[in-house]
Structure 1
Amino acid sequence: MNKKGFLFTALLLVGILVLAGCSSSNKEEAAPADNANANTIQAENGVLNVEASNWKFNGEKFVVKSGADVTINLKNVEGFHGLAIDELGVNIQGDGSATFKADKPGEYTIYCSVPCGQGHNDMKSTLVVELFAMFGKPDETRV
């Protein structure tokens, strides 16, 4: 192969690599937007089923409607954990359930209430109590 052929081939390969690098970068930037709500769990009929494993819950956010009686069912799928929400008087140790009234909209910290090892302090999620109006749109003045 002569010098011109080698130079052309080298430039072609560099161009392909640059274009390939640019297109994969765009895909990586778009991925988080597609997964924005991937780890949010809605209550169904006032029930939240929460699974605990070493050192996480199965959702980053759990969402319930204000005014509802909510039952949380905790199942340990790996290790031994608990679930507590201080402001709502919830504290489940191991597999079990607790029921509370979600009467105040806001965000509440869910955390593991049983010392469970090296990742225990990071074992947290959020309970979101959404404002719920019986008729029409939520009443913004009650927030």
Structure 2
Amino acid sequence: MKKFVLSLFILSFVFLLAACGGEESSESESTEKADKSVQIEATNFKFDQEEYTVKAGEPVNIEFTSAEGMHGLMIPELNVNIEGDGTKTITPEEPGEYEIRCSIPCGTGHAEMQATLIVQ
């Protein structure tokens, strides 16, 4: 009987250790090091700038803060979606203009809450 209880205890301990190992996040995080950052701040129904400019082919941190109200940031063509305050590292390869929008319905001015990311 003691061997059974000991075996059960050891087996439980092994399962506990395996569960604590954790899993990788389903959302891939960039491992690139970005020397450049773009700070984007949202207040009710607007971003702090109409345009933000970055260079093509260079990693950049998109650092988003919501100073007033509840907002998010998305750049659909670059696979960026930050809900609440956060940072995402991207490396835009194609020059062009990319629409920045609020990703959280924030009230009557939500539809007009837009800016542009210019990749040169």
Moved over 4 A (4+): none
CA distance in 1 between partners of 2:59 and 2:36 (Å): 6
Q: TM-score, normalised by structure 2?
A: 0.70
**Structure 2 counterpart of 1:106, from 79, 90, 96:** 96
CA distance in 2 between partners of 1:81 and 1:106 (Å): 25
Which gives a bigger RCO, structure 1 or 2 (Cα 8 Å, sep 6+)? Answer: 2
Partner of residue 10, structure 1: none
**Structure 2 counterpart of 1:88, from 50, 57, 78:** 78
Partner of residue 125, structure 1: 115
Instruction: Supply the RMSD in Å over aligned alpha carbons.
Output: 1.3
Partner of residue 51, structure 1: 41
Report 1:1-143 matches (<5 A): 45-130=35-120
The percentage of aligned residue pairs carrying the same residue is 49
Q: Name the structure with the higher helix share.
A: 1
Instruction: State the shift of 1:82 in Å.
Output: 0.4
